[in-house]
């Protein structure tokens, strides 16, 4: 599998990351072991989990897999987990305070059975806690050998910049990655979050790159999702995902385009959608979950698939979200514009709106 650098570090990670959110719930432990084995065998190495996935069971399963496999296999894994949330309702059992992150990190290390986590990510922002408090704890954890690198997840553009700028001012470890929701059906991060990430050399690890399964082509416009699918589930999280994606003609037009292109090139819709996002600016690796080994292997094909410029342009046109008015619409983009190079934008404020991309990537 192709590899990319983990942000501005020297670590190489696979172009597709393995998500383990359902290890211990939808995916039994034996199946999880088989998926991990197949992922490593295929050349994958970036494995992502979190302390709250199935209330810690996901981490525990990964820890038991580590213990059951030889060192030459487990040494290949670049292990990522997260801290911020907790199933408990106790008032201090969440957030980015020194107290809670200390407990959360130590518990993750114990469940995973490792001395060091390669990428420790803040699962979401906590504006009740001073940024300096959070950053100083993380820096101490790096120096103590408990963490190699720091990442973020679900941060807005201004929060990302706040963290980076504060870390630089303090002279402490700064984040190297951001894990946002991003797919052909959810592109709004292109207005501000991706430009902020590119400006700071932050790599993206998109979650839900298949939009909760909608980009697999198994759902039909105007139809009712089967009860054994996530969109048809009665679970509140899945219902929310279904409502978010299903109530949009633009989304269904995008799904139709993905299915059409997949047929034209002899690929699956999921492979087309994953190939598109894997080659977006600043993206390191989309995070892909799998219920079965066959499901995983099919998705990993996307690491070797590159869409031609015409098909990429067609997908970007049909999936382009409408920014509305100020500040992301045409008027706001015009205000931020400054033609410097042959009448073209030298450094666009956003990607949506026709500005040139300084990275040279699609």
What are the tokens at 290? 């799998």
**Which residue in this structure is represented by tokens 């699918």?**
229
Cα gap 209→63, rounded to integer Å: 26
Read off the pLDDT of each residue in 45-49 and give the average, rounded to a whole number: 98
Structurally, at CATH architecture level, domain 3-319 sits in Alpha-Beta Barrel (3.20)
What does the pLDDT look like over 3-40, one tens digit per residue? 999 999 999 999 999 999 999 999 999 999 999 999 99
* H or E element at residue 119: strand 117-122
What are the tokens at 62? 């990964």
pLDDT given for residue 246 in this prediction: 77
pLDDT of residue 283 exceeding 50: yes
Percentage of the residues of the chain whose pLDDT score is greater than 90: 77
**Which residue in this structure is represented by tokens 């299903």?**
246
User: Which one of the listed residues 53, 120, 182, 245 is annotated catalytic?
Assistant: 53
- What value does the mean pLDDT of the chain take? 90
pLDDT given for residue 344 in this prediction: 66
What does the pLDDT look like over 292-344, one tens digit per residue? 999 999 999 999 999 999 999 999 999 999 888 888 888 888 888 777 766 66
**Which residue in this structure is represented by tokens 């709004």?**
188
pLDDT given for residue 361 in this prediction: 38
Per DSSP, helices labelled H in 120-248 are: 131-143, 157-170, 193-199, 236-246
Taking residue 349's Cβ as centre, other Cβ atoms within 10 Å add up to 19
What does the pLDDT look like over 140-171, one tens digit per residue? 999 999 999 999 999 999 999 999 999 999 99
Report the half-sphere exposure of 61 (CA within 13 A, side-chain side).
Answer: 29
Taking residue 170's Cβ as centre, other Cβ atoms within 10 Å add up to 14
158 and 145 Cβ atoms separated by less than 8 Å: no
Taking residue 256's Cβ as centre, other Cβ atoms within 10 Å add up to 14
Cα gap 281→283, rounded to integer Å: 6
Among 188, 109, 204, which residue's Cα sits nearest to residue 153? 204
Catalytic site includes residue 53: yes
Cα gap 96→100, rounded to integer Å: 7
Using DSSP's 3-state secondary structure scheme, residue 68 falls into: helix
* H or E element at residue 18: strand 17-19
What does the pLDDT look like over 167-185, one tens digit per residue? 999 999 999 999 999 999 9
pTM of the predicted structure, to 2 decimals: 0.90
Domain assignments of the chain as residue spans, ordered by start: 3-319
pLDDT of residue 88 exceeding 90: no
Phi, psi of 197 (to 5 degrees): -65, -45
| Torsion sign (Cα): 204, 205, 207, 213 | positive
């Amino acid at each position: 599998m192709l590899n990319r650098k983990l942000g501005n570090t020297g670590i190489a990670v696979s172009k597709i990351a393995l998500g383990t959110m359902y290890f211990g719930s939808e995916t039994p432990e034996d199946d999880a072991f088989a998926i991990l084995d197949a992922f490593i065998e295929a050349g994958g190495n970036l494995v992502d989990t979190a302390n709250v996935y199935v209330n810690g069971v996901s981490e525990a399963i990964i820890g038991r897999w580590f213990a059951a496999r030889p060192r030459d296999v487990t040494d290949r894994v670049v292990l990522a987990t997260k801290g911020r949330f907790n199933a408990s309702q106790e008032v201090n059992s969440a957030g980015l305070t020194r107290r809670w992150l200390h407990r959360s990190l130590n518990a993750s290390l114990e469940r995973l059975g490792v001395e060091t986590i390669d990428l420790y990510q803040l699962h979401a922002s906590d504006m009740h806690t001073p940024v300096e408090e959070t950053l100083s704890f993380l820096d101490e954890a790096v120096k103590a050998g408990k963490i190699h690198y720091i990442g973020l997840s679900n941060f807005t553009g201004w929060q990302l910049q706040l963290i980076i700028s504060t870390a630089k001012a303090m002279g402490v470890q700064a984040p190297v990655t951001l894990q946002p929701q991003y797919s052909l059906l959810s592109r709004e991060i292109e207005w501000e979050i991706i430009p902020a990430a590119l400006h700071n050399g932050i790599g993206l690890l998109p979650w839900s790159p298949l939009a909760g399964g909608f980009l697999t082509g198994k759902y039909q416009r105007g139809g009712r999702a089967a009860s054994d699918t996530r969109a048809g589930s009665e679970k509140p999280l899945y219902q929310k995902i279904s409502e978010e994606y299903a109530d949009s003609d633009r989304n269904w037009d995008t799904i139709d385009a993905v299915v059409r292109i997949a047929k034209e090139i002899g690929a699956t819709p999921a492979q087309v959608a994953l190939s598109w996002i894997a080659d977006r600016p600043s993206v390191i690796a989309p995070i892909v979950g799998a219920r079965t080994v066959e499901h995983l292997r099919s998705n990993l094909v996307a690491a070797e698939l590159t869409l031609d410029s015409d098909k990429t342009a067609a997908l970007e046109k049909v999936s382009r979200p409408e920014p509305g008015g100020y500040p992301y619409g045409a008027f706001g983009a015009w205000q931020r514009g400054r033609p410097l190079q042959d009448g073209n934008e030298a450094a666009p404020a956003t990607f949506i709106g026709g500005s040139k991309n300084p990275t040279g990537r699609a």
